[in-house]
Structure 1
Amino acid sequence: MTARTAAGELSDGGTRGDGADEPYRPSARRLAREAYHRRRARNSALIAALSTTGTALVLYLVVVNSPGWQRTRDTFFNAHYAWQALPEVLRGLRINLELMAVCGVLILVFGLLLAVLRTLRGPVFLPVRLLAAAYVDFFLGLPMIICLLIMITGVPALRLTGVITDPLLLGGAALVLTYSAYVSEVFRAGIQSVHPSQRAAARSLGLSNAQTMRYVVLPQAVRRVVPPLLNNLISLQKDTGLVSIGGVVDAVYAAKIITSQTFNYTPYLVSALVFIVLTIPMTRFTDWTTARMNRRRHQGGTV
């Protein structure tokens, strides 16, 4: 056997040269395998397109042939009222975006603080852990709408000196109180997912408990819970519309005003579509982040 033959054999049956004299050529088996995968991908794409088109067509025919479709189209899908409502809904959407940005930062900070308090070790911290657990249990069980009603209507009824009565601020406070409980559980799950050997290694290097939590545990925990945190942010973005129950003129309340004037519900649909347009990119970004982290985990990289 010559040196060229020994060096040119491949695991899939192909041969390659020893340099520029004989360039690599894939074997017939590999070419057939690649052609098979291409045909399979094309067939899968064709079947998916046909099934999706067929399903959409069936749904369309069912809707447009229903007895009340004409009335529903005039009430919910009126283009005239949609264009009339769009500027007002977009103007009110600014309130929702500002509320999401400010409350999102406060929720992350407060939720992380609650998670750290619940994971403190030692008998001396038992009262702190109990208080944090009681807070989380209470607001996890309290419906968001009830918390908003209590804050927006109950706090001003107390007539306390120096207490804010702005429904926007009170609604934002209700969002922070409720979502901090959810986010704290996400952070706590991330903290508990860090292997105890990480703490032991940090302590063996001379780090204190606080330093171990700050420099070893929290960085790993936060990276692991990024996808669920993004999902909570998406939910927060939608729930900012609930502050409209206090009279805040956001996107939802702007649609309500126009609906009360025209007796047409198309503005509500416009408001819903605006929220959907905002949510879809955030959802796709969450999916991309989750897939990226899964690939790194499977490849043995740092999560």
Structure 2
Amino acid sequence: MTVHTPSELELGRQAYRAGRARRSVLVAIASTIAFAVIVWATVINTPGWAAVQRSFFDPTIALASLPRIWDGFLLNLTVLGLSVITVGICALAIALLRTLRGPVFFPVRVLAAAYTDIFRGLPFIIVLYLFGFGVPTLIGERIHPVVLGTIAVTLTYSAYVSEVIRAGIEAVHPSQTLAARALGLGYTRTMRTVVLPQALRKMTPPLMNDFVAMQKDVGLISILGAVDAVLAAKIESSQTYNFTPYVVAGILFILLAIPTVRLTDWYTAKLRAREQAGAIL
């Protein structure tokens, strides 16, 4: 059996790569220590840090307020789960309407474009006020805040997500559509089996970013009177005269966002690697 022996050039390359790796680790450790020293000198080692710690980072108050904030956080998750479904359906429909060709569909395209312009321009908090309080007043009946919050999130984020989907559809080369139609596929089947699968890979990273933004904005449904994590933190804060409950609510939202953010980074890096390798996306 022949044993492969690396050449001197290859051994030199391996030694160089190992040296670069060790140097990178040492630089990372040094920069981390330097950052920690700066934080200690400018934040922790200051006269006001003790007061900030008592007002924002009291572990006793954090543990006491966690159950109530967690119950409110489950309400935020309910709105988020419902909104993911409704936003996906509405955004796909709007994107398909905006990509329709032919003069007969001009009014539909104009209405879809007007919708995206309006709800991308309106601040989300104004949408909450308009629909959260306007719709119950209009119909004269009380509506559950979860329903109103889901409607507001759907109206706002469908405008953003539809533009992402439309951009993904238009990024697919027209030859793909022409080839499918030449094979006898209709418009619906062409979109479902040819265009959308290719567009999905291109629009997944921005869709994940919109999902992270939506995770944060569902915390605003407390405006409608829903006892979510934010309102529960406000109640706990008013009872303890301490801001630690807000920090607890913020940590819960961060823990919710981190997996999606990391997944977005991983998928984006994977797509970049495939593009650099010359793979067909």
TM-score by length of 2: 0.96
> Which of 181, 204, 225 is matched with 2:203 structurally?
225
Give runs of aligned pairs for residues 175-254 of structure 1, distance below 5 A: 175-254=153-232
Gaps of 5+ in 1: 1-19
> Which of 64, 68, 74 is matched with 1:88 structurally?
68
> Which of 86, 90, 93 is matched with 1:110 structurally?
90
Distance 1:41 1:299 in 2: 23
Instruction: Say yes or no: does 1:38 pair with 2:53.
Output: no
Instruction: Say yes or no: does 1:156 pair with 2:136.
Output: yes
Instruction: Say yes or no: does 1:294 pair with 2:272.
Output: yes
Q: Is the 8 A contact 2:127 2:152 kept in 1?
A: yes
Distance 1:72 1:295 in 2: 45
For 2:65, give the aligned amino acid: A
Question: Could you tell me how far 1:68 is from its partner in structure 2?
Answer: 2.3
Query: Once the two structures are aligned, what percentage of the paired residues are identical?
Result: 49
Q: How many residues align?
A: 281
Q: Which has the larger radius of gyration?
A: 1
Q: Show the counterpart of 1:144.
A: 124
For 1:142, give the aligned amino acid: L
Q: Show the counterpart of 2:262.
A: 284
Gaps of 5+ in 2: none
Instruction: Say yes or no: does 1:167 pair with 2:145.
Output: yes
For 1:114-165, what per-residue CA distance to the aligned partner results, in whole angstroms no more than 9, with x for missing partners?
A: 000000001100010000000000000000000011111222222x15x652
Q: Show the counterpart of 1:4.
A: none
Question: Could you tell me how far 1:108 is from its partner in structure 2?
Answer: 0.9
Distance 1:215 1:280 in 2: 33
Give runs of aligned pairs for residues 50-129 of structure 1, distance below 5 A: 50-129=30-109
Secondary structure of the 2:227 match is coil
For 1:295, give the aligned amino acid: A
For 2:211, give the aligned amino acid: L
Q: Is the 8 A contact 2:229 2:249 kept in 1?
A: yes
For 1:16-50, what per-residue CA distance to the aligned partner results, in whole angstroms no more than 9, with x for missing partners?
A: xxxx2x32111112112101110111111111121
Distance 1:228 1:94 in 2: 26
Q: Show the counterpart of 1:24.
A: 4
Q: Is the 8 A contact 1:191 1:217 kept in 2?
A: yes
Secondary structure of the 1:270 match is helix
> Which of 237, 259, 264 is matched with 2:242 structurally?
264
More helix per residue: 2
Distance 1:170 1:289 in 2: 33
Distance 1:180 1:31 in 2: 56
Distance 1:293 1:156 in 2: 46
Distance 2:13 2:101 in 1: 58
Distance 2:216 2:65 in 1: 19
Question: Could you tell me how far 1:302 is from its partner in structure 2?
Answer: 4.3
Q: Show the counterpart of 1:275.
A: 253
For 2:221, give the aligned amino acid: V
Distance 1:108 1:147 in 2: 19
Question: Could you tell me how far 1:66 is from its partner in structure 2?
Answer: 2.9
